[in-house]
């Protein structure tokens, strides 16, 4: 198991959003099996730097599967083939010696490429900004135990809230839909009493924003759930659809008199 591994990397290179991209091939050898995928890319980059070439741009930060920064399509799958795993938590022991590994950026209209393997995912922030919150200012909150919350509701809210906002769901979806991301937030807040006053308003605004930003429609292919490193369930999408239907029925009546985003 401790024998060193070799790979042929095919890395996507693209100067910027307006340029054409292409693959660069790099041979890697003497890779220890407990090296992480991103550490292997670090090594590839160090080799490029030693040769005076520009390293391939890719993003990461926590390298422990929680910040949602890393975002690579490995051999056609967002975050690679390990279920429930971000690419920063993928280890080289999961690949066969001698394998060819193709690495590409997220590909979706709403996530334009900035350079090489880096994309712009700020559309997600805009969706949250449209309604993914509870409108409460610092200061006036009642005692934390003033409202009891059923454990099962708190647990479901937490299941949904575990989303790390990486965008793998969008990258995996043939329509580049953001339904899983949006529904996770709708469901997180919708399961808690604190989220009830804005429940209809939230879902309507978030869905409108999502459509506006160029994400596609959901055609129930469920690739999103399969790619999600936090294994967020598509049940949240069904729940969001119910909320959305209900909110549309009620129309703007519930939204009376307030036009700001908050």
Partner 1 sequence: MILDSKIPPGSIENKWTDYKFQMKLVNPANKRKHKIIVVGTGLAGASAAASLAELGYNVHSFTFHDSPRRAHSIAAQGGINAAKNYPNDGDSVHRLFYDTVKGGDFRAREANVHRLAEISTQIIDHCVAQGVPFAREYGGLLDNRSFGGAQVSRTFYARGQTGQQLLLGAYQSLMRQVGLGAVKLHTRREMLDVVVVDGQTRGIIVRNLVTGELERHEADAVVLATGGYGRVFYLSTNAVGCNVTATWRAHKRGALFANPCFTQIHPTCIPVTGDHQSKLTLMSESLRNDGRVWVPKTAGDKRSPEKIPESERFYFLEEKYPSFGNLVPRDVASRNAKQVCDQGLGVGETGLAVYLDFSDAIKRLGKDKIAEKYGNLFQMYDKITDENPYQVPMRIYPAVHYTMGGLWVDYNLMSNLPGLHVLGEANFSDHGANRLGASALMQGLADGYFIIPHTIGHYLASNKIPKVTTDHPAFVDAENSVKARQDKLLAVKGNKPAMEFHRQLGKVMWDYCGMARNEAGLKIALDEIPKIREAFWKEVSVTGSGQDLNMALEEAGRIADFLEFGELLVLDAYTRRESCGGHFREESQVGEGEALRDDNNFCHVAAWEFKGVGQKSELHKEPLAFDNVHLTQRSYK
> Residue 41 in contact with residue 67, Cβ under 8 Å?
no
Q: Which residue in 14, 45, 86, 177 binds ligand FES (CB under 6 A)?
A: 86
Q: Which residue in 7, 12, 44, 45 binds partner 1 (CB under 8 A)?
A: 45
48 near partner 1, judged by CB under 8 A: yes
Hey, which residues between 157 and 176 contact ligand FES (CB under 6 A)?
A: 164
258 near partner 1, judged by CB under 8 A: no
> Residue 62 in contact with residue 88, Cβ under 8 Å?
yes
253 contact choice in ligand FES, partner 1, none (CB below 5 to 8 Å, kind-dependent): none
Q: Which residues contact 86 (CB under 8 A, 6 or more apart)?
A: 65, 68, 70, 79, 164, 166, 229
Q: Phi first, then psi: give them for residue 168, nearest 5 degrees.
A: -60, -35
Least Å distance, CB 99 to partner 1, is 18
69 near ligand FES, judged by CB under 6 A: yes
Binding part of the chain for partner 1, among 21-29, 54-62, 97-105, 242-250 by CB under 8 A, reads: 54-62
216 contact choice in partner 1, ligand FES, none (CB below 5 to 8 Å, kind-dependent): none
> Residue 218 in contact with residue 175, Cβ under 8 Å?
yes
Query: How far, CA to CA in Å, does 71 sit from each of 79, 107, 247, 258?
Result: 7, 10, 34, 37
């Amino acid at each position: 198991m401790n024998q060193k591994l070799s790979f042929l990397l095919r890395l996507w290179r693209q100067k910027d959003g307006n340029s054409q991209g292409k693959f660069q091939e790099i041979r890697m050898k003497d890779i220890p099996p407990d090296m992480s995928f991103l550490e292997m890319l670090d090594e590839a980059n160090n080799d490029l730097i030693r040769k005076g070439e520009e390293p391939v741009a890719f993003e990461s930060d926590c390298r422990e599967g929680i910040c949602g920064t890393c975002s690579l399509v490995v051999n056609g799958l967002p975050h690679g083939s390990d279920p429930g795993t971000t690419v920063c938590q993928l280890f080289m022991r999961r690949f066969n010696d001698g394998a060819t590994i193709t690495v590409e950026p997220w590909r979706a209209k709403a996530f334009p490429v900035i350079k090489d393997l880096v994309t712009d995912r700020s559309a997600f922030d805009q969706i949250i900004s449209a309604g993914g919150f509870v409108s409460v200012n610092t200061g006036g909150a009642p005692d934390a135990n003033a409202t009891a919350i059923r454990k099962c509701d708190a647990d479901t809210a937490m299941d949904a809230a575990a989303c790390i906002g990486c965008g793998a769901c969008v990258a995996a979806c043939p329509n580049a839909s953001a339904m899983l991301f949006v529904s996770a937030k709708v469901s997180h807040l919708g399961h808690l009493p604190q989220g009830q006053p804005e429940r209809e308003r939230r879902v309507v605004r978030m869905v409108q924003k999502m459509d506006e930003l160029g994400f596609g429609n959901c055609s129930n292919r469920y690739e999103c759930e399969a790619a999600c490193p936090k294994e967020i369930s598509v049940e949240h999408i069904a729940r969001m659809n119910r909320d959305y239907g209900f909110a549309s029925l009620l129309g703007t009546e519930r939204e009376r008199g307030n036009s700001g985003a908050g």
